[in-house]
Amino acid sequence: MRGMSSFQVKARVITIFLSIILIIGGCSSSRGEKNPKEPEKEEASATEQASVIEQSTAEVSKIASEEDVALFLMGDAGKEDENEYNPATYAISGGSWDILESGEKIYTMADGNEAKNVWVEDDGKYYYVDFTGCLMKNNYTADGFYVGDEGYWVRKEKQRQDDVEPLSGKTYGHDPVFVIEIMNYSDDSHYAIATKTYSFGAKEEYNVMPLGHSTYLLEYPDEFYEGYLMSVSKDQKTIIVSGLGCTDEYTIE
């Protein structure tokens, strides 16, 4: 889930809390002016206000201590300010990089587990580890940011906010080739099937899961949330596929 820094969260929570108090205080003043001869009701209102403030304080404290604080701050509309989110928001650190014999670069987290689909902070730069657990290069990440030749976030490239689809039934590339058959526009889990075919006849098939930001997960058969990351160009003519340390482009000829 997209989020905010702890400082931003605390600042926003304090602002909301103060607003609650000001609103209640304003209501109190209005009641006092309209009913100057009803002290008993005024006293009851003050008691209610204290109760509301106490309850609000408890709720804010509870929410502020949970991961869902961002949803609370966004309100019922569920909209967030895109400017408040970037790769630094949830980047992890404290682990270590390793290079496998086959050349792939992976990241082992501090708890000993292999990182997947996560940003890693290292010496002030932010690197993206894809769904195969490898450092990704020259492609858009699942949250729409671009990583370059060295695998770290290219800050001058804006986050993609579009949601471009691949062209159904078209052949991307030369050898191997990708063909993506879109089946269902309303169900992400059965959105499309991607078939990768080599010149010598071998085929690989993947379930296509939309991730947003014009990116898709080419999910391994019988493997949940693991596989290649694919982005689609704005003109729909090129797909960029990353995984296992490699990034390849496939264009409609």
Peptide bond into 36 cis (omega under 30): no
CA 191 to chain centre: 20
pLDDT tens digit string along 161-185?
A: 999 999 999 999 999 999 999 998 7
- Confidence check: pLDDT of 248 > 50: yes
pLDDT tens digit string along 201-221?
A: 999 999 999 999 999 999 998
Average pLDDT estimate for 41-63: 48
**Distance (Å, whole) CA 186 – CA 213:** 17
**DSSP 8-class letter at 227:** E
Confidence bin at 189 (pLDDT 50/70/90): confident
Q: What's the length of the chain? A: 253
pTM above 0.95, yes or no: no
**DSSP 8-class letter at 154:** -
pLDDT value of position 46: 53
**Distance (Å, whole) CA 78 – CA 250:** 36
**DSSP 8-class letter at 197:** E
Domains, the chain, ordered by start: 6-82 (no CATH), 86-147 (2.10.270.10), 171-251 (no CATH)
Please provide the DSSP assignment of 80-131 as one string.
--GGG--TTSS-B-S-EEEE-TTS-EEEE-TTSPBP-SEEEEETTEEEEE-T
